[in-house]
Amino acid sequence: MTKDHQSGTRGSAIVVGASLAGLMSALALSRIGLRVTMLERSTRKVRTGAALPVSDGLLERLTGRRSPDGKDILPSGGQAWADVHAGLSSAAQADPGISLRSPVRVTDVGQDERSAWVVTDDGEFVRADLVVGADGHASVVRRHVVPEAPDATFSGYVIWLGLVDEREIRSRPWPSDLAILYERDYCLNAYYLPGADGSVAQGRRRIGWGWYDSGRNDLLRARGAVIDDVVQRTLRAADVPDATFDELADEAREIWPSPWREAIVDCIGRRAVIGTPIGEYLPHRLVSGRVCLVGDAAHLPSPMTGSGFDASAQDALALAEALGGNGNRGSISDALHRYEAARLDAARRLVRSGQSFNNSFAPRGAAQ
């Protein structure tokens, strides 16, 4: 059986993906008066150890309003990925213009002169005035927008990520909030993040780390995390052999200084580590008719740029600005092309800015 959800009088949007880019896009589109349906295939989001730089007042810019209780649920500065996701999710759940359906897997996208739609894996059609692809590096929506170049390319390395409470680490704190270290064929990004209660006091923070590793690509392929140079999924702890964890722990003890060494060994001992294969996608366009791309679905840079999250936020804000909140269905295609004009060049510059790192760190795996 198929179902057809018709557009509302104010205008409507389907956002495919409820990760960071999807949540920000939904909030920005709701702010200008569109009715937003979010479709998310996963029931949980976990990015152990990943950190994001959040700009001041981001949530207010996305929603157009301040928190009624005066508490900032999305503080500025370096934040844990999970905390940012929780803050954006809380704002979306409180927004009457946004509805979230999960788990829903989108398998196809289509459009005509009057509307755009997605097809789910159970045969349901969900229709709206426009479709926003915020479904990440392996985007289904990208296949519709850029059918001749639908896949991000594996960059040739994995990032091991972990997070631990600072109180669990007895070593003396690092003198700064961030360390970027190179040893052997590795790179380590390690950093302090606010504690679970938001505290930034010494001893009450959390330590996050990302270990760049280009020497275990055979494991990624053996576990199906990378197939034909296309990233498929993240490695969870259960996907990683004990022998690999033992190797990483031994190497951490040998090459990384305190307190990062102890943080890594602690996470490995608890198996609180994930391995994220890194992909790259240089966009040639962001729009096709009533369908557009945002975030990693649109442009996938090296995480060494440190700007992927900010670029996703800029996508969401530019998309809302281009649409202008008038809900005029006849102007959707023109509005999306205004969005593309505003964001494409910046997105291409961002991806290219990370290519020098990819090409030097893993020259055989970098995208062309």
The secondary structure of residue 146, as a DSSP letter, is -
> Burial of 182 by CB count in 10 Å (0-12 exposed, 13-18 middle, 19+ buried)?
exposed
Residue range 144-155: mean pLDDT, rounded? 96
Pair of tokens at residue 31:
């702010």
Q: Is the pLDDT of residue 209 over 90?
A: yes
Cα–Cα distance measured from residue 217 to residue 317, given in angstroms and rounded to the nearest whole number? 37
Cα–Cα distance measured from residue 106 to residue 297, given in angstroms and rounded to the nearest whole number? 14
Please determine whether the domains at 12-152+281-361 and 153-279 fall in the same fold group of CATH: no
Q: Is the pLDDT of residue 69 over 70?
A: no
175 upstream amide cis, omega within 30 of 0: no
Residue range 235-243: mean pLDDT, rounded? 96
Instruction: Give the residue extent of every domain in the chain.
Output: 12-152+281-361, 153-279
- The residue ranking higher by pLDDT, 358 or 285, is 285
Beta bridge partners of 38: 15, 100
- What is residue 1's predicted lDDT score, i.e. its pLDDT? 28
Q: Is the pLDDT of residue 5 over 50?
A: no
CA dihedral 354, 360, 363, 366 (to 10 degrees): 0
- What is residue 366's predicted lDDT score, i.e. its pLDDT? 40
Positive/negative CA dihedral, 161, 164, 166, 171: negative
Cα–Cα distance measured from residue 340 to residue 132, given in angstroms and rounded to the nearest whole number? 13
Q: What are phi and psi of 91, to 5 degrees?
A: -65, -40
pLDDT of 314-349, one tens digit each?
999 999 999 984 444 448 999 999 999 999 999 999
- What is residue 362's predicted lDDT score, i.e. its pLDDT? 85
Q: Is the pLDDT of residue 75 over 90?
A: no
- What is residue 345's predicted lDDT score, i.e. its pLDDT? 98
- What is residue 141's predicted lDDT score, i.e. its pLDDT? 98
- What is residue 47's predicted lDDT score, i.e. its pLDDT? 63
For the domain covering 12-152+281-361, report its CATH number: 3.50.50.60
Pairing of strands 35-39, 291-293: unpaired
- Please name the fold of domain 153-279: D-Amino Acid Oxidase; Chain A, domain 2 (3.30.9)
Cα–Cα distance measured from residue 317 to residue 246, given in angstroms and rounded to the nearest whole number? 45
DSSP per-residue codes, 56-101: TTHHHHHHSS--TTS--SS-SEEEEHHHHHHHHHHHHHT-TTEEEE
Residue range 289-318: mean pLDDT, rounded? 95
Q: What number of other Cβ atoms are within 10 A of residue 301's Cβ?
A: 28
- What is residue 331's predicted lDDT score, i.e. its pLDDT? 86
- What is residue 193's predicted lDDT score, i.e. its pLDDT? 95
